[in-house]
Amino acid sequence: MRSTTVFQGTPGLPPPVGDVPLHRLEVDGPDAVPFAAGTFAAVGPLSRWDRPHRHTFYEIVHVSAGSGTHVVDLARWPVRPPHPAVVLPGQVHHWEGGRGPEGTLALFTDDFLVDHPRDRQTLRRLGRQCWFALDAEHDRSVGRLMAELVTEHRQRAPGHESVLRSLLHVLVVRAARLPDRTGDGRGPEAGGRPAAVAEAFTRLLTRPGAAGWSVRECADRLGVTPGYLTQAVRTSTGRPPGRLLIEARAYQAQRLLAHTELSVRQVAARTGSADPAYFSRFFRRETGSSPGDFRKHHSRPHQSLEAPSAHA
Is residue 15 a contact partner of residue 302, using CB atoms and an 8 Å limit? no
The residues spanned by each domain of the chain are 33-177, 191-304
Residue 15 pLDDT greater than 80, yes or no: no
Is residue 219 a contact partner of residue 225, using CB atoms and an 8 Å limit? yes
Q: What is the mean pLDDT of residues 144-158?
A: 95
Ramachandran class of 193: left when φ > 0, alpha when ψ lies in -120 to 50, beta otherwise: beta
Model confidence over 171-214: pLDDT tens digits?
999 998 886 543 333 333 333 467 778 878 887 887 767 777 88
CA 221 to chain centre: 17
Asked whether the whole model's pTM tops 0.95, one would answer: no
In the Cβ-directed half-sphere of 260, how many Cα atoms lie within 13 Å?
23
CATH number for domain 33-177, candidates 1.20.1560.10, 3.40.190.10, 2.60.120.280, 1.10.357.10: 2.60.120.280
What is the percentage of the chain residues whose pLDDT exceeds 70? 85
What are the start-end ranges of the E strands in the chain? 5-7, 22-23, 25-27, 35-39, 54-55, 58-65, 69-72, 75-78, 83-87, 93-96, 102-108
For domain 191-304, give the CATH number.
1.10.10.60
